[in-house]
Amino acid sequence: MRKARDTIGSYMFLFPAGAIYLSVIVFPVFYSTYISLFRWNGIGSMIFLGFDNYTNLFSDIIFIKSLSNTLIWTVLTLFLTMTVALGLAILLNKQFRGRTFFRGLYFFPTVLALIAVSVIWRWIYNPGFGFINEFFKLIGSDYRQGWISDPNASLYAIFFASLWRSVGRPMIFFLAGLQTVPVELLEAAIIDGATNTRRFFSVTIPLMKETFIIVIATLTVDALKTFDIIWGLTGGGPNNATEMLSTYMYSHTFRFANVGYGTAISVLMVVFMLIVIVPFVSFTAGKD
C-alpha cells in the first residue's frame, strides 16, 4: 500500500511538468503537422492537400536554396564558432592579469539582442561609410565591398556578425569544462613526457566529452533555427542569397498568408533537428 502511495505521489509531482510539456511542445507539434496537410490562409476554410505541401517543397528552388544556406550555416557554426570558442576558452583559462575583464568582454555580445546586433553590423557593413570599407580606405586600399548586398558575400558577412555575437556562450561552456579537468592528470601526463598537444587531445578533450555534447547540441539547434540576424540585416536577400529555412517559413506563414506551406517547412525543421540531435546525444552521452 505504501509503495502504491509513493508511486501515485511521484506521478502527482510529475503531472505539472508533464502537462506543460504536452501543452507547450507535444500538442503544437502535432497540430502543426495537421495544419501542414492543408492549404490555409489562417482565416478562411482549410482545403485538404495531403502531402502536396511537402512534395512541392522539394521542387521549390527557393526552399532548396534556403535548405542549402541552412546547412552551410550549420557547418560553419560547428567548425568556426566552436573552434573560436574553444580557442578563447583555452586562452582565458590561463593565469594572467585582467583575465576576468577579458572573459566579460568576450561574453558581453551574447547578452545583446540579435536585432540590436543587426543594426550595429548594418552600419559596419554600410558600403558608403561603413567601418570596414573606411578601414580599407584609411590604409590606402581601393577595395570596397557591398558586404550584405553582394549575393556572393552576404551569407558569410552575416555569419561573421553572428559569430561575434554568439561565440561567448560556448566559450563559457568550454571554460567551465576546462576547469573540471583534474590538474593531477595533466601533471602525470607531463611527467610521462607528453607534449602540450598530446595532453590536450589525449587528456583534456576526452574528459570534456559532456561539455562538447552540450556545445554541439546547442550550436546545432541555434544554427538550424537562425532567424533574427538574417531578418534584421537582409530579410533573406539579396535575391534569396541569405534565405534560411526559418526566414522562408516566416515569409510564407505571415507575409504571404500561406500557413499550410509555411507550417510544412517548420515541421521539416523539427524533423531535421531530431535527425541530427537525437542520434548524436544518444551515441555520445551513453554509458561507456
Report yes or no on 266 lying in a domain: yes
The pLDDT of residue 198 is: 84
Q: Residue 44 — pLDDT band, cuts 50, 70, 90?
A: confident
Q: Given a cut of 60, is residue 286 above it in pLDDT?
A: no
Q: What's the pTM value of the predicted model, to 2 decimals? A: 0.86
Q: Residue 190 — pLDDT band, cuts 50, 70, 90?
A: confident
* Angle, CA 123 vertex, CA 121 and CA 127 arms, to 5°: 110
Domain check: are 267 and 193 in the same one? Answer: yes
* Cα–Cα distance for residue pair 228/113, rounded to 1 Å: 9
Domain check: are 107 and 197 in the same one? Answer: yes
pLDDT above 90 as % of the chain: 35
Kindly report, residue by residue over 115-156, the tens digit of the pLDDT: 888 989 998 998 888 888 888 888 888 777 888 888 888 999
User: Domain range holding 1?
Assistant: 1-26
Q: Residue 69 — pLDDT band, cuts 50, 70, 90?
A: very high
Domain check: are 227 and 271 in the same one? Answer: yes
Kindly report, residue by residue over 214-230, the tens digit of the pLDDT: 898 889 888 988 999 99
Sheet strands (E) in 69-114: none
Displacement of CA 10 from its chain's centroid (Å):
35
Among 199, 169, 206, residue whose Cα is nearest residue 88: 169
Q: Given a cut of 90, is residue 4 above it in pLDDT?
A: no
Count of domains forming the chain: 2
Report yes or no on 153 lying in a domain: no
What is the CATH number for 50? 1.10.3720.10
